[in-house]
Amino acid sequence: MNVSETLENLSASGNLRQIPEDRRLENIIDFSTNDYLGLASFSMDRMSSLYPELKDAPMTSSASRLLAGIQHEYNDLENELGSLYDRRALLYNSGYHANIGIISAIADRSTVVIADRLVHASIIDGVLLSRAKLMRFEHNDLDMLETMVKQNYDTGHRIVVIVESVYSMDGDSPDMNRLVELKAKYPSIILYVDEAHAFGVKGPKGLGMAMDTVNPKAFDIIVMTFGKALASYGACVITSSDIREFLVNKSRSLIFSTSLPPIMALWTKIMLDKMLTADDRRLMLNAHVDLLHKTLSQLKGSVPDKPSHIRALIIGDAQKTVEASKKLREDGLLVLPIRTPTVPAGTERLRISLSASMQPDDILKLSKALKCITD
């Protein structure tokens, strides 16, 4: 690998990535945040006066979860999550750790993983680590998915079907009840859903789209992250007692990583309680979604067709996408460019995400600016 040549090629194609500067002091509206409920405004100083236990929570466990002498904060959070879903919960350090650790544990060379073409990179990396056979169905094409399941169902292979409930770059969703029907028809498949961008936003009390189906337990594995709508850090899997115990023994990203800071588990529990009663914030977010949809649905390249708290305006060229982002920045609007390999070449885009903390005028300002860019 020629490092210099690679960097030069990335720069020439408009695909060179750089870590941005700190933006906290800038007078700018951030449309690239995943803070969907606006809970990130809660500071440690403010919350510690309301929750004195934060002042004494350990900053580190100093060990992996299986070796740590500190377990109280983890257990409390897992128990609450488990009770909410009437199942068992297991914490991971991040959504990436969860996906690579779970998939590489439950799948092997005798497994067929059938995944949506647009699932997150962490899911693909988990499949690669597992050495399972990977099959991809066209995005949200559940007829194609069922055909693949049917073709592989009686071959003696374990089948894992993996989808996201809200796709991070397109903002759209599969028919979740259709997936429940698929599980009923082919009961031995493992149905796996990543709810990273739905958790906190969708479903009853923000518990995700699987909980809004006719049979939530049809989903054998539900993964959600805490660093988005929950304004914390870490992730967890909701699953059965048997699969949880299996992961404790076989999931390498859990076994061989220092566990989350206990103070983060406590913070997550506090934020979880706020999320559960945040229907007013979800209503505000949905109002912003509808307001932006009225504008973007008229613009060429807008994805998805249905309203969502994540929207994409596909430009189709890396350099032009970067230029469009710069123009918006000059207007006080942060909408970062998304380029290959995050999205396929030719679908480079501006990714817009909304937060309940925004004001209607913020949405109208963005709408006006996007119209000017696309005219």
Catalytic residues: 34, 120, 164, 168, 194, 197, 228
- Closest C-alpha among 227, 269, 236 to residue 54: 269
- Do 219 and 191 meet the contact criterion of CB atoms below 8 Å apart? yes
Give CA–CA dist 51/44, Å, rounded: 10
Question: Token pair 């100083």 is at which residue?
Answer: 45
- Closest C-alpha among 78, 33, 41, 87 to residue 254: 78
> Cα-Cα-Cα-Cα dihedral of 65, 70, 74, 80, to 10°?
140
Give CA–CA dist 46/129, Å, rounded: 42
Alpha carbons within 13 angstroms on the beta-carbon side of residue 114 total 26
Pairing of strands 333-334, 29-30: parallel
Cα distances (angstroms) measured from residue 226 to each of 48, 78, 240, 262, 307: 19, 13, 20, 14, 23
- Do 60 and 208 meet the contact criterion of CB atoms below 8 Å apart? no
Greatest distance between any 2 Cα atoms in the chain:
61
